């Protein structure tokens, strides 16, 4: 299996509902390092997994919607805790939509899986990954 990873970061503010979250129930900030791993069984005719420039641009467009924003105020997160796990799935879904729309170029048709990791710090992170349903 071949893998290409692109990385970006985003600074956000948010709060959580529920006793489980203790002091994080108050508004606080977070800076996430976001990794997106794109995988395929065989390289495309150009010898790559996917166009790394397009993948980087796609990730930037996804996380930039949240940059310097309070996620509690965004309609897509109304009534939801924006945990690291939830945000990893949101990035996954948005990246999959870009792949399905062909925004990563013709080589993206051979991608077979995708993994998104959000690093909260150097010692804690959460991820979401799944098959893309594409032969690979």
The predicted model scores a pTM of 0.94
Range of the domain at 56: 2-131
Is 136 among the domain residues? no
DSSP-based three-state secondary structure for 108: helix
Query: What would the two tokens of residue 58 be?
Result: 């796609």
d(CA 81, CA 121): 19
Contacts with 62 (C-beta within 8 Å, 6 or more apart), sequence order: 91, 94, 95, 98
136 confidence band (pLDDT: 50, 70, 90): very low
Q: In what order do the strands lie in the sheet with 28-40?
A: 69-70, 2-14, 28-40, 113-119, 125-131
Residue 96 lies in a domain: yes
Domain assignment present for residue 14? The answer is: yes
- At 6-34, the pLDDT tens digits run 999 999 999 999 999 999 999 999 999 99
How many structural domains is the chain composed of? Answer: 1
Residue 26: CATH number of its domain: 3.30.479.10
Contact 83, 32 (CB under 8 A): no
Question: Confidence class of residue 133 from pLDDT cuts 50, 70 and 90?
Answer: confident
Pick 16 or 136 by higher pLDDT.
Answer: 16
Whether 43 shows a pLDDT value over 90: the answer reads yes
Q: How far are the Cα atoms of 27, 56, 71, 127 from residue 17, in angstroms, in the given order? A: 11, 33, 13, 21
- In the structure, what pLDDT confidence band is assigned to residue 52 with cuts at 50, 70 and 90? very high
How many beta carbons lie within 10 A of that of residue 2, not counting itself? Answer: 17
């Amino acid at each position: 299996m071949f893998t290409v990873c692109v990385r970006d970061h985003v600074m956000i503010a948010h709060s959580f509902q529920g006793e489980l979250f203790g002091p994080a129930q108050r508004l606080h900030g977070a800076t996430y390092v976001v990794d997106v791993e794109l995988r395929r069984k065989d390289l495309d005719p150009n010898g790559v997994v996917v166009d790394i420039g397009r993948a980087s641009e796609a990730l930037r467009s996804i996380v930039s919607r949240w940059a310097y924003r309070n996620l509690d105020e965004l309609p897509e997160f109304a009534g939801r805790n924006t945990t690291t796990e939830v945000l990893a799935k949101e990035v996954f879904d948005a990246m999959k939509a870009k792949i399905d729309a062909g925004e990563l170029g013709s080589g993206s048709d051979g991608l077979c899986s995708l993994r998104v990791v959000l690093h909260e710090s150097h010692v804690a992170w959460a991820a979401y990954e799944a098959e893309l349903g594409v032969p690979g």
